[in-house]
Amino acid sequence: MAPVDSDKVLDAVLQTAGEHGWSDLTIEMVAERASLSASEIIRLYPGKRAILDAMADRFERQADETVDAEARDPSLPVPERLFDAIMTRFELLQEHRDGYAAIFGAARSNPCLALAGLARLTPAMGMVLRQTGLDHRGPLGCLRRKVLGALYISVLQVWLNDESEDLGPTMAALDKRLRQLDEIVASTPMRRKNHSEESSFSGR
């Protein structure tokens, strides 16, 4: 028996969720979309939670593989690097906008779904920090991940309502929040005591 193409299944899930919503999505709908049998999909993904886990794993791989080279450029200011790394994620979301929006919308009324997403957020922001050359370990790394996670959720709300083709409002919101964050961190006692990049987001 030939192995099932997981990308084909996950793409079918996102397309189906975009049309019918996440709560109403069934394995049978996905199977029809992917031209597979329901049993083939169930063998690969026994339930919706397994599908979400696989989707999140794929998203993180793609975010690491496709991140803008400027995000890794140590000569650029930290806010610019963070902007490039985080915008990569919104551009990936945009490729399956309706499907991801359906999942995020379902999470608003499903605490278990929301908690599963939040559990993924902190390590995802750890990847952003690694991509931009910032330490993600220790107490400061933990703080950075939490702060970036809150920022990401804030900008995600803008993206969900952003109907522009170029994601202009999303980019503007991300830029504004990163610059506000840079100013706040730069003014803290920790920042004044240590001017190295590793002690703050700003790197100034």
Best CA proximity match to 100, nearest among 25, 21, 170, 158: 21
pLDDT (average), residues 166-185: 89
Residue 181's pLDDT band (cuts 50, 70, 90): confident
**C-alpha–C-alpha distance, residues 199 and 139, integer Å:** 11
Report the predicted TM-score, pTM, of the whole model to 2 decimal places: 0.88
pLDDT (average), residues 34-63: 96
Residue pair 185/195 in contact by the 8 Å Cβ criterion: no
Distance (Å) of CA 17 to CA 58, 66, 123: 17, 24, 25
Residue 202's pLDDT band (cuts 50, 70, 90): low
Average pLDDT, rounded, for the chain: 90
The structure tokens listed for 163 are 């109907």
What is the reported pLDDT for 4?
Answer: 83
